[in-house]
Amino acid sequence: MARFRRKFCITLITLVLLVLIITVVLKALTPEDSDGVELIQDRKNQIQRDNHKPEQTKMNDSPQPDKDAQLEATLRKYPPPNYYLHVFYYTWYGNPKFDGKYIHWDHPQLPHWDSKVAQGYPQGRHSPPDDIGANFYPSLGAYSSRDPSVIEAHMQQLRIAAIGVIAVSWYPRNMKDDNGDPTDELVPLLMELAHKYHIKVIFHIEPYKGRDEVNMFTNVKYIIDKYGEHPAFFKYRTNTGKLLPLFYVYDSYLMNSEQWAKLLKHTESNSIRDTPYDAIFIALLVEEKHKRDILTAGFDGLYTYFATNGFSYGSTQRNWDSIKAFCEDNNLIFIPSVGPGYIDTSIRPWNFQNTRNRINGKYYETSLSAALQARPDFISITSFNEWHEGTQIEMATPKTSQTVYLDYLPNKPAIYLEITRKWAAIFGGERRKWQE
């Protein structure tokens, strides 16, 4: 009986030792487990640090550490984004795969306002994908603005160009332009992917039906309440130390200055000023007389939008020095708008007089140089992807079809992104000198 107990004890001890040996061996074979824990812990620490930043808000679950590392490695290949360089961006495109139909690519040919002149030009709608409402053809094809892969490709192109901010064409919920569908629902995905690429988002408020000072307040409140805490939402620290959103207001002259003053003047009882929804409001300058209207209305600055030098007072580059002086005298922000060219004869076949040839990038570089000469606060670019008016810097490709398209040859599809990157660096250097 004693011998049996000794054998049992020896067997038990042997089994315990065997288990210990197996455990040690298995630990030795899996060193990556401990590294993974450290990476996850580092990521948690980073998230905790980020939560103390005033402009950072955690919107989604954290990406996997490996994906984080891959993305950061990719981002390091791009030039740093210049947040004083804004580009107008449009989300109104659609195709059958994502939208059930083509949207905007089938843009109608608009008739001339003189019926006698209109009779001499074609009318009707374009028929995508081979016949689109544009004089150039996008490298991504007749895409949908809802396609995540398209948005990602756009963000990559923006980073190639060193652009830090997109000004997104915006209509209120359930409202749209004359040829499109509502687009506000696209904004969350756009902001998520913009943030992924360290790009900020501004809202370019369009002249929606019935726009007035009351619903402008409502819509600004909606934007700030819904998107204002997102880390991609652009905010600018003013010279008074306030950190405020910035809004471009397209066709602001359609409302008179008295109406705008009710929204924008501190002295008005229903003013947006000194409320949680205060912001920097940038008006569109078209005619010279609009300068005084903009001042009287209480706007914080002005922009010129049109990429056609000579088309309007505001877009005429020789006027930019005097416009800048006016802004300095009245404590206004000056944002000249530059573009690579202009051609809209695919949708306005009678509008040849406003065409501005790209001259293989020379027109764009001349515009950028003129903007810098005026020492602006920001520079805006018209546009990233307004294909109908031929102002896009997005990649275009040669296209052979019954419809005749222009292209960027003999340059490559990214030529206008590369020109933008060059001048983003020059602008950054000049801004540093101006501040010395």
Among left, alpha and beta (phi > 0; psi -120 to 50; other), residue 104 is: left
Say yes or no to pLDDT of 52 above 60: no
Confidence class of residue 69 from pLDDT cuts 50, 70 and 90? confident
Give pLDDT tens digits for 366-413: 999 999 999 999 999 999 999 999 999 999 999 999 999 999 999 999
The residues, ordered by sequence, that sit 6+ positions from 176 with a Cβ below 8 Å of its Cβ are: 92, 182, 183
Q: Which of 311, 333, 322 is nearest to 391 (CA)?
A: 311
Q: Which helix or strand (DSSP H or E) is residue 125 part of?
A: strand 124-125
Q: Which of 426, 311, 309 is nearest to 376 (CA)?
A: 426
- Check residue 43 and give its pLDDT: 31
Give pLDDT tens digits for 123-158: 999 999 999 999 999 999 999 999 999 999 999 999
- Check residue 57 and give its pLDDT: 31
Place of tokens 């819904």: 226
Place of tokens 């000004």: 167
Q: Which helix or strand (DSSP H or E) is residue 203 part of?
A: strand 200-205
Say yes or no to pLDDT of 356 above 60: yes
Read off φ and ψ for residue 87, nearest 5 degrees: -135, 140
Q: How buried is 24 (Cβ within 10 angstroms: 0-12 exposed, 13-18 middle, 19+ buried)?
A: exposed
The 3-state secondary structure of 376-411 reads: CCCEEECCCCCHHHCCCCCCECCCCCCCCCECCCCC
The pTM of this model reads: 0.85
- Check residue 60 and give its pLDDT: 39
Q: Percent of the chain having pLDDT more than 70?
A: 85
Say yes or no to pLDDT of 90 above 50: yes
Say yes or no to pLDDT of 26 above 90: no
Give pLDDT tens digits for 296-318: 999 999 999 999 999 999 999 99
Mean pLDDT, rounded, of the chain: 88
Q: Which helix or strand (DSSP H or E) is residue 77 part of?
A: none
Confidence class of residue 436 from pLDDT cuts 50, 70 and 90? confident
- Check residue 330 and give its pLDDT: 98
Say yes or no to pLDDT of 92 above 80: yes
Task: Tell me the helix, strand and coil percentages in the chain, rounded to 5.
Answer: 40, 15, 45
Locate 104 and state its tokens. Answer: 């905007």
Question: What single string gives the DSSP state of each residue in 298-351?
Answer: T-SEEE----STTSSTTT-GGGHHHHHHHHHHTT-EEE-EE-S-B--TTT-TT-
- Check residue 345 and give its pLDDT: 97
